[in-house]
Structure 1
Amino acid sequence: MALSVIGAGFGRTGTLSLKFALEQLGLSPCHHMMEVFANPEQAPVWLSAARGETVDWDSLLSGYKASVDWPSCHFWRELAAHYPEAKVILSTRDPQQWYKSISGTIFPAMAGGLPEEGPQRDMLTMVRHIVSDKVFSGATDQAHVLDVLARHEAEVKRSIPAERLLVFDVAESWEPLCRFLGVPVPDTPFPRTNSSEEFQARLS
């Protein structure tokens, strides 16, 4: 099974809501960081990919029909090339609101010491290397982080042909997403989940 949808948007741009929406539209399962938490053996493979080592994408993403969020969004370019028939969704949101969200969730979650061993150490090592080191170069100040976001989104828009790309804010609900995917609009509410409070509650 090959990916049909590749998410290029950073975490905290509504990616968990988008995961659930895509799954409701038949693209199930959809890969998300939550999948790595559920399958911690994936973490070292994602870390190897981030270190530039050769990774078998078909094996790593076996069974998945779509991918969103970190770690996969870091490899949007590689995945778009490997799965040329897949459509690309760049999830986005108001930059100021996004920075407030990531500053209250992902950044604090990456802080602190590493566990001595085990799956949690592998997970945190992978997340820090990809999100902190590779994406944000170890800096979390607002000006830098927002510049990284802006450059990332501009590069996705520049690199992916318009007919293959949807720039999507989950606040837009079903219509643009379903139109892009060529599927009917469900008669159920668009998923809304993973608020900052929910994120923090999972870590407590």
Structure 2
Amino acid sequence: MKVICAGMSKTGTKSLRAALILLGYNVYDFLENYQYFGGEWNRIASEGGTTEDFRRMFENVDAVTDMPGCSFWDEIHKAFPDAKIIFTTRDEDSWLQSVEHQIAAEDHPLVHLMMLLSPTYWKLDRFMWRIDHAVSGTGMISRFLRGVKINRLLTKMAYRKHNANVLQNAPKDKLLVYSVKEGWKPLCKFLGVDVPSKPFPHKNKQGQMVEELMAKHPIYIRGEREVMFFGSLLLLMLVLGVYIIVTRLF
């Protein structure tokens, strides 16, 4: 582990992930943590974990961004004390607005359909809310088929608490307080690498990442295939049921 992103979701973590990938880092974001360490994270959320657990999980990973890694930045850093910490920041009101935009983007007909018909997506959704309730306490409540209710006050309090913890406890010689609006220069200087010729990537504006992930990520592709399979099966059962009723009536 070389880089730990301690900034909460919606502070530019997807842009930072893309930038680190362009710089050659192997990055585990939320979906990679779920895909490869879902069982470990569920255990940690319910029973706790040790420094050795985090060392074992991330020994072959260069960088970690977004949830749940950002909430466990201190524990991960204890396992990898030489790792650098990037604390992505964002104005509180802008951050909360972005959180609400993300929730609105995920309140998508296809998402609700996938929740009904896809075991893969249902497990992913349950994992996301379990982790959030276990470590963030943001007051977001998933309401099946009725969207998400967000407690704005608790969400802001969780944001302030997390940020204060990072700023107070992260070792200053290993810490970069960073906004993705600053681009390549401070990031590359901190990491000790050359500035790339490519423009700095800006990802997930207005929740656009949801549609991109649905189109490209293996988890979402598998979920869509399950939707097609179980949807076709239900349609076939419906047609068969109607046929049986009609034949019995006539």
Give your verdict on TM over 0.5: yes
**What is aligned with 1:26?**
24
Matched residues in 1 for 2:118 and 2:48: separation?
23
CA distance in 2 between partners of 1:137 and 1:18 (Å) = 23
Q: Which residue of 1 aligns with 2:47?
A: 52
Aligned to 2:137: 136
Counterparts of 2:164 and 2:210, CA distance in 1? 30
**Contact 1:11/1:70, CA 8 A, preserved across alignment:** yes
Moved over 4 A (4+): 106-117
Structure-1 separation of matches of 2:170 and 2:61: 22
Contact 2:85 2:176 in 1 (8 A): yes
Per-residue CA shift, 1:11-41, capped at 9, x if unaligned? 11111110111122222x111013246x3x5
Closer, same or farther: CA 125–181 of 1 in aligned 2, 3 Å: same
Q: Quickly say closer, same or farther: Cα 1:87–1:183, change in 2 above 3 A.
A: same
Query: Residues 148-179 of structure 1: CA distance to partner in whole angstroms, max 9, x if unpaired?
Result: 11121111111111111111110010111111
Q: Within the alignment, does 1:157 sit opposite 2:152 as a pair?
A: no
Once the 2 structures are TM-superposed, how far is the Cα of residue 88 of structure 1 from its aligned partner? Answer: 0.6
- Look at both structures and tell me which one has the larger radius of gyration over its CA atoms: 2
Partner of 2:178: 168
In 2, Cα distance between equivalents of 1:54 and 1:142: 30
2: CA distance between counterparts of 1:159 and 1:79?
Answer: 13
Report if the CA contact (8 A) 2:139-2:154 is conserved. Answer: no
2:95 is aligned with 1:103: no
When the two chains are superposed, the root-mean-square deviation of aligned CA atoms in Å is 2.7
Residue 122 in structure 1 maps to residue 118 in structure 2: no
Compute the displacement of 1:120 (Å): 2.5
Secondary structure of the residue that 2:158 maps to in structure 1? Answer: helix
| 1:32 and 1:69 in contact (8 A); partners too | yes
Q: Which structure exhibits the higher relative contact order, with contacts defined as CA atoms closer than 8 Å and separated by 6 or more residues?
A: 1
Quote the Cα distance in structure 2 between the aligned partners of 1:132 and 1:109.
Answer: 18
Q: CA deviation at 1:94?
A: 1.7
Structure 1 residues 56-95: aligned runs within 5 Å? 56-95=53-92
> Which ranges of structure 2 fall in alignment gaps of 5 or more residues?
141-149, 216-250
Decide whether aligned partners of structure 1 residues 203 and 143 sit closer, same or farther in structure 2, where only a CA change above 3 A counts: farther
1:137 to partner: Cα distance: 4.9
Change in CA separation of 1:54 and 1:155 when aligned onto 2, cut-off 3 Å: closer
Structure 1: 5+ residue stretches without partners: none
Aligned residues: percent identity? 30
- For the residues of structure 1 that align with 2:203 and 2:13, how far apart are their CA atoms? 9
Counterpart in 1 of 2:144? none
TM (norm. structure 2) is: 0.70
Q: Give the structure with the higher percent helix.
A: 2
Report deviation, 1:132. Answer: 3.7
CA contact (8 A) 2:45 2:131 kept: yes
Q: When the two structures are aligned, how many residues end up with a matched partner?
A: 199
In 2, the alpha carbon distance for the partners of 1:108 and 1:150 equals 24
2:191 corresponds to 1:193: no
